[in-house]
């Protein structure tokens, strides 16, 4: 099994066709969409409410057409959501991904408490095997 990074950087979250998925653990809800237009290739992201950044990739499995359970994780500097007074340093989400199809994983700054400068690392796993990693440097606005 192999994952290939196709694009990374800033994306435009469409105004329509977005579905909110309730998290099963006390962490962020997730948003799903069928399309995510790539706007700019960059690993530097300026914190601003509404900014969406992430990765586009595909996973191949020896030419087999399968749906695989993947785990997407974002490791980030400590943030303090209202439900986690001690802070959190990562979020994760398990989803089904079709092999040999483009998929994307992303984060949008929705809440003021999410906006923390530092290294934000996106990782995609199959079971405990790391398939893909991409780091972003989140910075304060000038």
Q: How confident is the model at residue 19, as a pLDDT?
A: 47
Under DSSP, the state recorded for 75 is E
Among 92, 58, 87, residue whose Cα is nearest residue 75: 92
User: If one looks up domain 2-139 in CATH, what number appears?
Assistant: 2.60.40.2390
| Positive/negative CA dihedral, 80, 85, 89, 95 | negative
Q: How confident is the model at residue 32, as a pLDDT?
A: 54
Task: For the full predicted model, state whether its pTM sits above 0.85.
Answer: no
Are the beta carbons of 3 and 58 closer than 8 angstroms?
A: yes
Question: Domain segments of the chain: what residues?
Answer: 2-139
| Positive/negative CA dihedral, 27, 138, 73, 35 | positive
Q: List pLDDT tens digits, range 51-103.
A: 999 999 888 876 566 677 888 899 999 999 888 889 989 888 777 776 667 78
């Amino acid at each position: 099994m192999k994952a290939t990074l196709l694009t990374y950087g800033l994306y435009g979250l469409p105004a329509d066709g977005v579905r909110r998925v309730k998290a099963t653990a006390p962490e962020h809800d997730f948003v799903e969409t069928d399309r995510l237009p790539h706007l700019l290739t960059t690993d530097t992201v300026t914190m601003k409410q509404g900014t969406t950044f992430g990765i586009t990739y595909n996973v191949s499995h020896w030419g087999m057409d399968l749906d695989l359970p993947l785990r997407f994780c974002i490791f980030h500097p400590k943030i303090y959501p209202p439900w986690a007074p001690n802070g959190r340093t990562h979020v994760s989400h398990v989803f089904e991904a079709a092999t040999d199809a483009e998929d994307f994983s992303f984060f949008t700054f929705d809440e003021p408490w999410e906006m923390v400068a530092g290294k934000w690392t996106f990782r995609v796993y199959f079971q405990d095997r790391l398939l893909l990693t991409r780091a972003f440097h989140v910075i304060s606005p000038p």
